[in-house]
Amino acid sequence: MKFGDQLYCEKDYLRAIDEYNGYLNFFSNETLFVKIGLAYYEMKHFEQACQILSKENLPFKNVNASVFNAINFQKEKYADINQKSVGDNGSELLRIASLKGYEKYYDKNEFLSPFNESLHPELEKLFDYKNEDHQKSPFLSGALSAVIPGAGKFYTGEISDGITALLLTGILSYLAYDNFDAGHNTRAWIFTGLAAYFYAGNIYGSIVSAEKYNVRIKNDFEMSINLFLEENNYFIPHINFCK
């Protein structure tokens, strides 16, 4: 069993499971089922983890309940997260789920209440970011570029693309005007068509740019949440098997 613990602590979970199962062929040990369930969880084999940890009369009930909550969170089954066991992670994960748009709203003090104070600064940043409007309006982005070519790209932070759109549309429009003024109507209409094409493309591109910006900041925010949870092991209570 000590060799199994060594493998577990080295994160060689599959071999640790084999070692624990070999021991269970000869001896009964409820704690080993918990270790096996946790090993499956660490490998993200969630179905096997749930099957093992669902056994009756296992020790570390708060840990087992916390694993179920962590699995439900990662599957985005937020409604299945519960707070039935003393010392489980349900309160923490439900608050984090609210950052991802889950229905319950907390004020800041209520949101922070279950967490260790050392985590409050980082959590406050996430909470404040969630409750501020960082979205860019696709309509406004397109409207800006309709008035001034490239302005919508400036609005979404794509400065170089905005400058390119402004210069290209401006130069083509000038060439069209200059050729009309000089009586070169054929060339003038060609430049007019090109200017209109790039002008329309500049508006459409600005709308798409705002949509992409919104997707990007949403993904970045969710990555920050996931990283925070991984760094804190989804608030699953720690059992020191690695003594």
Structural domain boundaries in the chain: 1-59, 138-224
Residue 57 or residue 119, greater confidence? 119
pLDDT of residue 89: 93
Within 13 Å of residue 110, how many CA atoms lie on the same side as its CB?
A: 7
What is the residue whose two structure tokens read 């054929």? Answer: 186
* Residue 172 pLDDT grade (very low, low, confident, very high; cuts 50, 70, 90): very high
* Cβ 67 vs Cβ 49: under 8 Å: yes
Secondary structure (DSSP) of 100-127: TT-S----HHHHHTTS-GGGHHHHHHHH
- CB-count burial class (<10 Å; 0-12, 13-18, 19+) for 115: middle
Mean pLDDT across the stretch 91-109?
A: 90
Please give the CATH number for the structural domain made up of 1-59: 1.25.40
Mean pLDDT across the stretch 27-33?
A: 90
Cα–Cα nearest to 67, from 238, 241, 236: 236
Give me the sign of the Cα torsion angle 136, 138, 140, 146.
Answer: positive
Cα–Cα nearest to 176, from 164, 184, 167: 184
Contacts 24+ apart (CB under 8 A), 171-176: 172/198, 173/199
Mean pLDDT across the stretch 135-139?
A: 97
Mean pLDDT across the stretch 201-220?
A: 97
pLDDT of residue 243: 65
Mean confidence (pLDDT) of the chain? 93
Mapping DSSP to helix (H, G, I), strand (E, B) and coil, where does residue 133 land? coil
* Residue 241 pLDDT grade (very low, low, confident, very high; cuts 50, 70, 90): confident
pLDDT of residue 83: 79
* Cβ 51 vs Cβ 43: under 8 Å: no
* Residue 13 pLDDT grade (very low, low, confident, very high; cuts 50, 70, 90): very high
Mean pLDDT across the stretch 179-183?
A: 93
**59 φ, ψ to 5°?**
-75, 180
CA distance 50 to 26: 24
* Cβ 209 vs Cβ 201: under 8 Å: no
